[in-house]
Amino acid sequence: MERFGEPVDLAQSDLAFTHDDYATGQSWIIISVAQKARLLGRSAMNPPNPLKTIGLLAYDDMQALDLTGPLDVFGAANALASGMPPYGLHVIGVHTGTVRTENGLVVVPACSINETPPLDTLLIPGGIGSRIGNTDPQLLAWLRLQAKSARRVVSVCTGAYLLAAAGLLAGRRVATHWQYAEDLARRFPAIHVEPEKLFLRDGRFATSGGLTAGIDLALAVVEEDLGAAMSLAVARYLVMYVTRPGNQTQFSAPLAAQAQATGRMSILVDWLLAHLKDEITSERMAEQVSMSPRHFRRVFADTFDTSPARFVEHLRLEQACLHLTRDKSSIDRIAASVGFRSADVFRRAFRARYGATPSEYRARFAR
């Protein structure tokens, strides 16, 4: 297999793919064999797996990105594949006619639930409609019927409400948007909601957190079907910063800190991220926000509900996770790059937080 970016025979003739290969058929994307080979290496020339039909449910007041994000992931896999596309994509409406999403986007489904083709994978987006409209007996019966035959059933964000209402998630581990996790668990006590998970899989059912987490789950589906090289190529094609494994939390530590921080503390978060490899003490942090050490520790605890030392360790461990999944540096070098003065201390802290060693984490989640 060629490595990404190595020269490819540009004498290959260009191939044109319509947007219809993966969405509505209203616009064109032109991509050459050479472009695809650069992304995927010579493996792009191998015959694809048999066509997998994916049905994406569309209903009024769904969250548009929960549908269009995964749709574009699968569509990009089609555009990057050699020969026949690996996925047949069908947007399926609850009823005939158009569907209006939460943000006003109008979607025209290819068919209704009464005309569903045999599906390999069923994907249910979330949105207001899933939380207030999950008592439609026709829809729930259809979900149960499809779940019997589909190889895989996927929900994004609060799409889990529909699967739970159909009785399909009882006894299963479930991810959903963090803001609705408590409500989902209250309304459907037979399911086991894990509010921090980005996405997870329990048997044939895969569920994800909110919005962009659905894109991460769709990339994981592509990896399962077509391999890690294709999944990574799709992520690059969509200009994603990094592909995230399902065990990551929906809220990154920096994002959560920025949401909590006020006043001078908001400046501190950016400073910490830029200086993780340095020695960071409470006194040095206090200097950055022009406070006395004693006053700083009190304000910090009130703001972040933890100690400065534990907060910094959390930031360092999360950054270490990114390094472990993205580059091949040694464990000792990664530990030093995020501010741990001893690789042994790093390993102990990492295991305490994630329940695995850095090497085990890399083996499971590295791309």
Q: Is 111 in the active site?
A: no
Q: For residue 17, give every residue at least 6 positions away whose Cβ sits within 8 Å of its Cβ, in sequence order, or none.
A: 28, 29, 30, 31, 78, 79
Residue with token string 């990664």: 334
Assess whether 148 and 116 both reside in one domain. yes
Assess whether 27 and 77 both reside in one domain. yes
Assess whether 321 and 204 both reside in one domain. no
Q: What is the pLDDT of residues 10-29, one digit of tens each?
A: 233 222 333 333 333 333 33
**Strand, helix or coil for residue 336:** helix
Give the other-Cβ count within 10 Å of 72's Cβ.
19
- pLDDT for the residue numbered 41: 41
**Strand, helix or coil for residue 110:** coil
Q: What percent of the chain has pLDDT over 70?
A: 80
Q: Which of 157, 181, 331, 338 is catalytic?
A: 157
Task: Please state the three-class secondary structure of 232-290 as a single string.
Answer: HHHHHHCCCCCCCCCCCECCCHHHHHHHHCCCHHHHHHHHHHHCCCCCCCHHHHHHHCC
Assess whether 107 and 198 both reside in one domain. yes
Q: Is residue 242 part of a domain?
A: no
Angle, helices 343-354/358-365, rounded to nearest 10 degrees? 60
CATH value at residue 359: 1.10.10.60
Domain termination site, one of 182, 210, 237: 237
Q: Is residue 193 part of a domain?
A: yes
User: Cα–Cα distance between 103 and 82 in angstroms, integer?
Assistant: 35
CA-CA distances (angstroms) from residue 30 to 25, 26, 119, 270? Answer: 13, 14, 28, 41
Chunk the chain into consecutive blocks of 10 residues (it has 367) and report each block's average pLDDT, rounded to whole numbers: 30 31 34 38 43 96 96 96 94 95 96 96 97 90 97 97 97 94 96 90 94 90 91 85 53 60 81 92 94 93 90 91 86 95 93 85 72
User: Cα–Cα distance between 341 and 109 in angstroms, integer?
Assistant: 56
Q: What are phi and psi of 199, to 5 degrees?
A: -160, 160
Assess whether 31 and 92 both reside in one domain. yes
Total residues found in the chain within this entry? 367
Q: Record the tokens describing residue 213, joined without a space.
A: 């987490």
- pLDDT for the residue numbered 332: 95
Assess whether 207 and 355 both reside in one domain. no
Q: Is residue 344 part of a domain?
A: yes
Q: What is the pLDDT of residues 205-261, one digit of tens each?
A: 999 988 788 998 999 999 999 998 898 889 888 887 555 555 555 445 665 666 667
- pLDDT for the residue numbered 321: 87
Q: Is residue 7 part of a domain?
A: no
Q: Record the tokens describing residue 174, joined without a space.
A: 């479930």
User: Cα–Cα distance between 193 and 197 in angstroms, integer?
Assistant: 9
Domain termination site, one of 237, 263, 279: 237
Q: Record the tokens describing residue 274, joined without a space.
A: 């830029």
Assess whether 146 and 294 both reside in one domain. no
Angle, helices 264-274/308-326, rounded to nearest 10 degrees? 40
Assess whether 128 and 270 both reside in one domain. no
CB-hemisphere CA count at 13 Å for 205? 25
Check: CB of residue 222 under 8 Å from CB of residue 231. Answer: yes
Residue with token string 């894990």: 194
User: Cα–Cα distance between 160 and 222 in angstroms, integer?
Assistant: 21
Q: Is residue 305 part of a domain?
A: yes
Q: Is residue 285 part of a domain?
A: yes
Q: Is residue 5 part of a domain?
A: no
Domain termination site, one of 206, 237, 268: 237
How many domains is the chain built from?
2
Assess whether 304 and 230 both reside in one domain. no
CATH value at residue 80: 3.40.50.880
- pLDDT for the residue numbered 266: 79
Q: Is residue 248 part of a domain?
A: no
Assess whether 140 and 226 both reside in one domain. yes
Assess whether 161 and 275 both reside in one domain. no
Assess whether 142 and 257 both reside in one domain. no
Query: What is the span of the domain harbouring residue 343?
Result: 253-365
Check: CB of residue 144 under 8 Å from CB of residue 167. Answer: yes
User: Cα–Cα distance between 89 and 57 in angstroms, integer?
Assistant: 11
